[in-house]
Structure 1
């Protein structure tokens, strides 16, 4: 019988419900339980796929091709849970399902209402992902008090009534601010947040109090008294130096025992040895390495959430402190002399993205890394621009381009997926989810990283390499080391006479974890550090 944990948030957004839920999952897994993590978002978009990175941050892609909330990335990084399209539900998706059923006559002519039809749909979604799972953790997006999240809160209230009390646990993450002028931590926002939750009919059993400073026992006792929870059930969620310390912080306060007691769990001895070993690596790096990220969303870091984490994971395994230098590519378009800034970093990475802004600057940065033997990693758009740069500046195909930026360039090095496979419908013009890739030679950076001949990685893009140009680019030295099994798609390109130069069409960052760094990021960071040591006297 699956048990359920519902994580809600109060006072304000961005408190870290996703990391809290993922950390609870990590602790439960260390006890030997199987966990599933699910996110409910209150916005009316069906998914975040069409939302601006400035609005929503990164779009996280699952193996089955779902475009989901970035919190699913935390779930998969902290635990071994496998996310699918059903693990991220939005209000838009829920209402769309209800209205589709209504049009089909499923409700037999009844008046369709939020209660029971929308709430029933939410409850069905909760149960859809629990087969073979010991504990399902459901995060409710938004903040208690928002009108958008009310149907979800009502649904989980009903869920608690319909199940045994020992099978359902409500955990509320709230905020305890420090008022500098008064020199005091204030519990009133937490009291009001829990009051709103209780008015809905939900009594949290555990309160996670997000705070910048240690909570004195007097504040914990006050929160417990006014929020109707046992005093030991007020758990401090203090700011930590690294998000991967959160499971340890919770366990050291006995959160694992509180969860076990409420849910009647028998296996209650967490084994967090690997997490403590990770903490030791993070706190004791042998050196630093500087990675320059040349992109277009550099002012909003959540756009590259998985990428950032993957680079740090690579630092952990190499015992290095990865320092990121954010470089807006558009600066190179105005002044090429600024490319010299790339000499100050140890490796250059050009990530994925959409749109034409800053593209020429990225191409110049790629060329500079190629010519000056700076370790380079191009991901998705970065790989496409690698091919364009090589075509222009090595193969002599002047004005070569992608049809994303020039509809009729002289040489269409990159073009739309639908031009390649004949798909015209808007919904079919992206390659989403996990696809296989065959590594062409063992004498390649990609094989040395994976040690496999066939790999599977996640994609999110609508433009592909034009195979017509493979012979001429290959003749000039661009290596096509990863190809789809059917031979239609280029997945990996490399330059051999270089310390480390690789572009991949897929997004390897989606499969990196803190305890098991992704092999491409691991080797890129290692090569960047070798470059740092080699040029040490110049830095």
Structure 2
């Protein structure tokens, strides 16, 4: 057979020839397949390391949830780089993790945000979608389409999750159509806008290099009570990773709050907005940080778990207590 031939012609003992064949359901099954072939034991033996019994019960249970999903949820990704699959890879995986927590298969409908700038109606583009996510990005292309999609989702009660740029889009849309500042924008897209509702911090304005104005790395966020984000985390202080240049302009912060926008997360000193929520909405949550970077299939990020739950409820699909991993 093939394994015998490989062993013979490579001078590798037969038991050390490991098969990595394709799987039908999920790539997360591969570690279990390797374990069945004793790959872990063989590697430890070759390295002369002590062997311990592998603890794979949680991983096996997670794979079983994927293979035996009870529900399906369609999530629309309204982004700028839809044609490049790996651009949003971390988000796609984190959504899968959120689905695992609810024994739900996640189906993605990838929608180029520029389509919303054409004559097509948002209702048509989002017709088969149970929830919508607006991911991060840079530059002006497709921004107006994202804003149009966000307005539709806010007005129609479609569960929406905005990440980094996605949160900024939610704030701009709210500023234009609720606060009444029709020319509200980000100075990234419109440097001369009369209402820079999203802008660089004052001390960053004269810095020309992108890296010099980046807020990078893990930092603390204080969450407000009685908000979706606070309920999802189950605690009031969290630490998340950031990678962005622009912030909610504090000159408009009180106006936004007076118009109903919920500032659900702030930095410890209160200087920066970290998360926002649409009022009286089943799930309209925007975060300035990147929760997808810390999600795993065994420990799905609580915001993706909460987002998937909101999508299931919106779709009229039962959410059982205790579904979470």
Using structure 2 for the length normalisation, give the TM-score.
0.94
Distance 1:422 1:473 in 2: 23
* 1:347-366 equivalence runs, <5 A: 347-366=131-150
1:434-493, CA deviations, whole angstroms, 9 ceiling, x for partnerless residues?
011111x21100110111111100011111110100111111110101001122211000
- Across the two proteins, how many residue pairs are aligned to each other? 316
Task: Say which of 297, 306, 319 aligns to 1:514.
Answer: 297
Distance 1:476 1:387 in 2: 11
Give the SS at the match of 2:221.
strand
Distance 1:298 1:420 in 2: 34
Distance 2:95 2:112 in 1: 18
Tell me which residue corresponds to 1:375.
Answer: 159
Tell me which residue corresponds to 1:456.
Answer: 239
Task: Say which of 253, 258, 274 aligns to 1:470.
Answer: 253
Which runs of 5 or more residues in structure 1 are unaligned?
1-217, 535-539
Distance 1:393 1:444 in 2: 22
Distance 1:450 1:461 in 2: 22
Task: Indicate if the aligned counterparts of 1:256 and 1:268 stay in contact, CA closer than 8 A.
Answer: no
Q: Compute the displacement of 1:423 (Å).
A: 6.5
Task: Indicate if the aligned counterparts of 2:220 and 2:268 stay in contact, CA closer than 8 A.
Answer: yes
Distance 2:246 2:12 in 1: 54
Q: In the superposition, relative to structure 1, how do residues 425 and 337 fare at CA in structure 2: closer, same or farther (>3 Å)?
A: closer
Q: In the superposition, relative to structure 1, how do residues 244 and 423 fare at CA in structure 2: closer, same or farther (>3 Å)?
A: farther
Tell me which residue corresponds to 2:320.
Answer: none
Distance 2:62 2:72 in 1: 17
Q: Compute the displacement of 1:279 (Å).
A: 1.2
Give the SS at the match of 2:286.
strand
Tell me which residue corresponds to 1:322.
Answer: 106
Q: Compute the displacement of 1:268 (Å).
A: 3.3
Q: Compute the displacement of 1:228 (Å).
A: 2.5
Tell me which residue corresponds to 1:400.
Answer: 184
Distance 2:79 2:203 in 1: 27
Task: Indicate if the aligned counterparts of 2:220 and 2:238 stay in contact, CA closer than 8 A.
Answer: yes
Distance 1:420 1:497 in 2: 36
> Root-mean-square deviation (CA), in Å?
1.5
Task: Indicate if the aligned counterparts of 2:122 and 2:152 stay in contact, CA closer than 8 A.
Answer: no
Task: Say which of 207, 212, 230 aligns to 2:13.
Answer: 230
The one of the two structures with greater contact order (alpha-carbon pairs below 8 A, sep at least 6) is: 2
Task: Say which of 104, 114, 119 aligns to 1:335.
Answer: 119
Find runs of 4+ consecutive structure 1 residues off by over 6 angstroms. Answer: none
Tell me which residue corresponds to 1:482.
Answer: 265
User: Quick check: which has more Rg, 1 or 2?
Assistant: 1
Which runs of 5 or more residues in structure 2 are unaligned?
318-325
Distance 1:453 1:519 in 2: 13
Task: Say which of 123, 128, 135 aligns to 1:344.
Answer: 128
Tell me which residue corresponds to 1:431.
Answer: 215
